[in-house]
Amino acid sequence: MNETPQTPLQTLRQLETSCTVQPIWPVTLPPGTCPPEVTERTLSPDIPDRIITGVQNPECMVFHPETPNGIGVVVFPGGGYMKLAIDNEGIAVAKTLVTMGYTVFVCSYRFPGEGHEFGSDTPLADAQRAIRWVRHHAEQWSLRYVGIMGFSAGGHLSGQLLTRYSETFGTTTDEIDQHSARPDFAALIYPVVSMREDNRHQGTMERLLGNVPTQEQIDRYSVEYHIHTDVPPCFLLHAADDDAVSVNNSLLLWQALRNHHIPVDMHLFGQGKHGFGINKAKHLPAGEWPQLFHRWLTCQKLSGKYAPN
C-alpha cells in the first residue's frame, strides 16, 4: 500500500467537487486550531482511498440523485474513532446510492479523546446534529424520510444514535436543534457493537473510553444492551472472516433487535474481511450489499413519525 504524506484539509470540498459541502454546527474555531489532515492510502491510481484525521468542524457532503426517491441517507464512515475512511466508506458509497435515487449526506465527525467538550459523547453529539441538520433543510431536497448508514466505528456511532437519539448534550444552539435526531431506518455495516471483552475491538474501545474503562462505561457504550421498542428498522451486514471486528457484534445486535420485535434483516458473507466498503468487495458476493440494502428498504413500511416537516 502506498501512502502519501499528510496534508492540511480546510474543507471536505477539496476532496470532491461534484457535491455541495456545509458545516453542521455554527462554530468558530479557536485561533491557532490545526486543520484536519488527509492521507492517501492508494491501492490503485484509479481508486482513491483517503483518510481524514483531526476533525474539528464537522461537515456534510451532499450528493444529489438525478431522480430523487424522497429518502435521505446520512453516512458515517469508520476508522476506529481516530480517522475517517472518507472514500471507501463515504464518497464511493454516496456515488453508488445516488444511482438508486437516494440523497446522500457523507458526514465527518469529531473523535473522543481529542479534548472536545462532550468527551466520549462527542461523536454522538455530532451525529445527532447531522440528522437534525438534514431534517431542517429537507424541504429543499424533498425528503420524506431520513436514515443512517455507518461502517465499523461509524456503525457503533449509528448504534449509539439508534438508542440514544433523545439524549441532550449542552444547550440548544438554534432552531435546527428542535428537530428529532431519531433516524427513520439504519444500516450498520460490519459495526462495532459491544464494548465487552469477548467481542469488542480493543482499539475502538480504548479511543472511546480510555485504557481502563469502568464496567459502567463498558455497559453504557455496548449497543446491544440499550435496544428499546422505538428503535427504527435495521439492516445489518458483516463478513464471517472479519478478523478485526468479530461478526459476533452483528449477531448480538440482531438478537437484541429480535428480542424487542424491531424489524431487522442481517446478511452474513463468508468472505470480505473488514473494511470492504464499496471498492474492496467488488468481485465478492459481499459486493452486492448496496442492492440488498436497496431492496430491503424498498420493502420497509417506514412510520414517518419523525419525518421532516
Annotated domain spans of the chain: 15-25+35-299
Interatomic CA distance for residues 28 and 150, integer angstroms: 27
Residues in a beta bridge with 60: 22, 107
Q: Is 225 exposed, middle or buried (0-12, 13-18, 19+ CB in 10 A)?
A: middle
Interatomic CA distance for residues 62 and 134, integer angstroms: 10
**Average of per-residue pLDDT values in the chain:** 91
For residues 161 and 129, the answer to whether their CB atoms sit within 8 Å is: no
**Pairing label, strands 186-189, 145-151:** parallel
Confidence of residue 276 (pLDDT cuts 50, 70, 90): very high
Which residues contact residue 9 at a Cβ distance below 8 angstroms, ignoring those fewer than 6 apart? 15, 35, 36, 37, 38, 52
Residues 68-89: tens digit of each pLDDT: 999 999 999 999 999 999 999 9
Q: Which three cell numbers stand for residue 134?
A: 438534514
| Superfamily of 15-25+35-299 according to CATH | Alpha/Beta hydrolase fold, catalytic domain (3.40.50.1820)
For residues 247 and 240, the answer to whether their CB atoms sit within 8 Å is: yes
Residue 118, φ and ψ in degrees, nearest 5:
-100, 10
Residues 26-52: tens digit of each pLDDT: 876 665 567 889 999 876 778 889 999
| pLDDT given for residue 177 in this prediction | 92
Interatomic CA distance for residues 45 and 158, integer angstroms: 31
Q: Is the pLDDT of residue 172 over 60?
A: yes
pTM (2 d.p.): 0.94
Which residues contact residue 170 at a Cβ distance below 8 angstroms, ignoring those fewer than 6 apart? 117, 118, 125
Q: Is the pLDDT of residue 286 over 90?
A: yes
**Pairing label, strands 20-23, 59-63:** antiparallel
DSSP type of residue 47: B
